[in-house]
Structure 1
Amino acid sequence: MVLAVDIGNSNIVMGCFENDKILFIERLSTNRGATALEYTIMLKNILELNGISHMDFQGGIISSVVPSVTLTVRAAMERLTCKKVMIVGPGIKTGLKIMLDNPAQLGSDRVADAVAAINLYPVPCIMIDMGTATTISVIDSQKNFLGGLIIPGLMTSLDSLTVRTSQLPNISLVPPNKVIGTNTVDCMRSGIINSTASSIDGVIERIEEELGETCTVISTGGIAKTIIPFCKRKIIIDDELLLKGLCIIYNKNK
């Protein structure tokens, strides 16, 4: 088995693979102040809850956009599994040709998403990863990573709205029944959900105009299931995209 961990700004997503099959996926909050021991205990508890022994792993792999947490989590994983843990970054084989001005600037989460996409879906394709930020990545018909967009995430925008206005409350993301809200809470829900969905539809249209081709569109991330049903464009939701990419990268480097 392989232990795969994606460290994001808000959440850490943890998955376990056996023969390329995902056995479970769990989320915990990213805690920049936690020690390696604290992460070891959290990871051990998650494995035990899923009926898996920490001694059954042949290795592990990490994708991280939070450098201050990366080595702490790796230390925890290595202590728990007694195996070496890879970190996606320079020197790791991905099979991805990155056409950016500075390829080293590409986040490891977007690398993992792209590796999964080129191996599992028709190209050209667009990946939409909806987390603290919404990242949109584009791969052409030759499987080259062309670049993309970075947009403030839905919760980031919503938090900014409630913090900077004195009369707007904190709300849950319960989908509205209609676009035109008739009270403050429904207006906020409709505004944030429909505007986010519309921006995604619009960006996809503009990317395809620039490429001159129709793309496969895949969405992943914690907010995707809330937003994508409101998009007019056909979009595949793949909650496991990033972890699938980590598994493929691990197998290329083991």
Structure 2
Amino acid sequence: MILTIDIGNTNIVIGCFDKKCLLFQERFETNHQSASLEYAVILRETFSLYGIDTSNIEGGIISSVVPSVTDTIKVAVERFTGSSFLVVGPGIKTGLKMEVDNPAQQGSDLVVGAVAGIHNYPVPQILIDMGTATTVSVINQDKAFIGKMILPGVAISLDALSSHTAQLPTVSIDPPRKLIGSNTVDSIKSGILYGNAGALDGLIDRIEQELGESCTVVATGGLSPVITPLCRHQILLDEALLLKGLLLLYEKNCNSQG
């Protein structure tokens, strides 16, 4: 079994694979103050919940956009499983063509998502990752990563709206009853959710216009199941996209080392 871990600004997502089969996928909060022992306890409880013996873990791989948490998690999982873990970064073979100004500045999560996208879906592609920020990455017909767009995430937009206004309340992120809100709560929900869906639709239109061809559109990330059903474009939902990419990178690097 292989353990894959994606460390984001808001959440950490873990997935355990037995060969190509994803046994489970869970997420928990990214806490910059937690010690490795605290993360190890979370891992122990998760594995216990699914009845998985840690002695079956052969190894694993970590992708992170939070450097201060990366080593803490690595220490936790290596102690917990007794196996060595790779970290996506310099020295990791990806096989991904990067046609951008500075490939080293691209986040590891975008690289991992692109690797999985190319492996699993037709190109050209638009990959949408809806986390703390919303990133829209583009893979061209030659399977090269050619760039991205970054938008404020849904939760960030909602927090900014409520924290910077005197009379607007904090609301939950679930679809309003109708587009035109007849009360303040539904009006905020409609504006945030349909506004983000409209932004994605608009970006997809403009990307396809610039490329001169239609694209496969794939979405992942914690908020993608909420927003993508509101979009007018056909968008494939793959909540395990980054975990699949991590497994591919693990296999690529372990096989090359062997």
User: TM class by shorter-chain length?
Assistant: over 0.9
Q: Identify the residue that residue 238 of structure 1 maps to in structure 2.
A: 238
Report the secondary structure of 1:77's partner residue.
helix
What is the aligned partner in structure 1 of residue 124 from structure 2?
Answer: 124
Report what 1:137 is aligned to: 137
Per-residue deviation, 1:174: 2.1
TM-score by length of 2: 0.97
TM-score scaled by length of structure 1: 0.99
Report the identity percentage. 55
Q: Alpha carbon RMSD of aligned pairs, Å?
A: 0.6
> Who is 2:6 aligned against?
6
Q: Partners of 1:77 and 1:61 in 2: how far apart? A: 10
Cα separation, 2, equivalents of 1:106 and 1:48: 36
Report the residue type matching 1:86 in the other structure.
L
- Shift in Å, 1:115: 0.4
The question of 1:15 aligning with 2:4 is answered no
Aligned to 2:114: 114
Matches within 5 A, 1:33-52: 33-52=33-52
Deviations 1:59-85 (A, max 9, x none): 010000000000000001110111110
Letter in 1 for 2:191: G
**Cα deviation 1:92-128 (Å, max 9, x = unaligned):** 1111011111111111111111000000000000000
Question: How far does the alpha carbon of each residue in 1:149-185 deviate from its partner, in whole angstroms, 9 at most, with x for none?
Answer: 0110000000000000010011012211211111000
Counterpart AA for 1:185? V
Q: Secondary structure at the match of 1:55?
A: helix
- Residue in 2 that maps onto 1:76: 76
Figure out how many residues of one structure are paired with residues of the other and give that number: 254
Which runs of no fewer than 5 residues in structure 1 stay unpaired? none
- The answer for unaligned runs of 5 or more in structure 2 is none
- In the alignment, the residues of structure 2 paired with residue 28 and residue 181 of structure 1 have an alpha-carbon distance, to the nearest angstrom, of 32
1: CA distance between counterparts of 2:20 and 2:92? Answer: 19
Alignment partners' CA distance in 2, 1:141 and 1:46:
40
Alignment partners' CA distance in 2, 1:37 and 1:100: 39
Aligned to 1:158: 158
Q: Give the match's secondary structure for 2:114.
A: helix
2:48 and 2:63 map into 1 onto residues whose CA distance is: 23
Instruction: Return the alpha-carbon distance in structure 1 between the equivalents of residues 115 and 174 of structure 2.
Output: 33
**CA–CA distance in 1 between the matches of 2:48 and 2:100?**
42
Do structure 1's residue 179 and structure 2's residue 175 form an aligned pair?
no
Provide the residue aligned with 2:206 in structure 1: 206
Partner of 2:98: 98
